[in-house]
Amino acid sequence: MQILNDRKIKEVFSNIPQIDTERLILRKIDPRDAADMYEYSCRSDVTEYLTWNPHKSEKETERYIKLLGKKYDKGAFWDFGVEYRKDAKFIGTCGFTSFDQDQNSAEIGYVLAPEYWGRGIAVEACCAVLKFGFAVFDLDRICARYIDGNNSSKRVMEKLGMSYVTTYKNSYYIKNEYKTVIEYAVTKKEFFAAQALTKKD
């Protein structure tokens, strides 16, 4: 029986669980995260390859988190906040951007503070989200997309065991221009097979 449906999605994310990894805590985003979120969300180097513009003030970030709280209550927001366990600092977000019930699949997205780039943290967070999606929703496939030029994001997807699917050439209107977006994906079977090999190594 297919697990993925609106009721299940709302049920899970209206009471979003905490996920613990070696270095991270993935949890609900709340008002105490505003200052840390603003530190990275105000930077143009962070938002360069994202669909949204830099936050102009901490107040804007506070309003955004308040809106997220309402969406969480309705089970309509599917991102985890990423907390770095060692210093209890909020350093980004990672979660689902969409679900496709017909295909029993989902898409993930992520953003991290620059101080934590290049340390395998995005891979660690995304790996936890992939495991969560495959286990809790019994998804068959999870994809991710990046704007052409964002090679760091491409490497994250490859390290997750994702494979190239297709290129949407000049198909996404982002920040007042059409941009090329590349899609990668991994099936449940492929992901756990790769995880098993990693454990053996």
CATH number at residue 83: 3.40.630.30
pLDDT band, residue 199 (cuts 50/70/90): low
Residue 137 belongs to some domain of the structure:
yes
pLDDT for residue 2:
61
> What domain range is 71 assigned to?
6-200
| CA 163 from centroid of its chain's CA atoms | 17
Residue 156 belongs to some domain of the structure:
yes
Tell me the three state secondary structure of residue 13: helix
pLDDT for residue 112:
98
What is 64-98 written as a DSSP string? HHHHHHHHHHTT---EEEEEETTTTEEEEEEEEEE
pTM over 0.85: yes
Q: How far is it, in rounded angstroms, from Cα 107 to Cα 145?
A: 8
How confident is the model over 127-146, as a mean pLDDT? Answer: 97
Q: How far is it, in rounded angstroms, from Cα 123 to Cα 198?
A: 14
Residue 169 belongs to some domain of the structure:
yes
The per-residue pLDDT of the chain, averaged, comes to 95
The string of pLDDT tens digits covering residues 38-96 is 999 999 999 999 999 999 999 999 999 999 999 999 999 999 999 999 999 999 999 99
pLDDT for residue 198:
66
pLDDT for residue 194:
83
Q: How many folded domains does the chain comprise? A: 1
pLDDT for residue 38:
99
Residue 80 belongs to some domain of the structure:
yes
In percent, how much of the chain has pLDDT > 90? Answer: 91
Task: Return the ∠ at Cα 50 (arms to 45 and 51), rounded to 5°.
Answer: 135
How confident is the model over 181-193, as a mean pLDDT? Answer: 96
pLDDT band, residue 3 (cuts 50/70/90): confident
Considering only 65-74, 112-121, 190-199, which range has the smallest mean pLDDT? 190-199
Residue 133 belongs to some domain of the structure:
yes
Residue 1 belongs to some domain of the structure:
no
Asked if residues 159 and 141 have their Cβ atoms less than 8 Å apart, the reply is no
Closest-CA residue to 12 (of 79, 61, 83): 79
- Buried residues in 66-96 as b, exposed as e (16+ CB within 10 A): eebeeebeebebbbbbbbbeeeeebbbbbbb
Residue 146 belongs to some domain of the structure:
yes
pLDDT for residue 196:
75
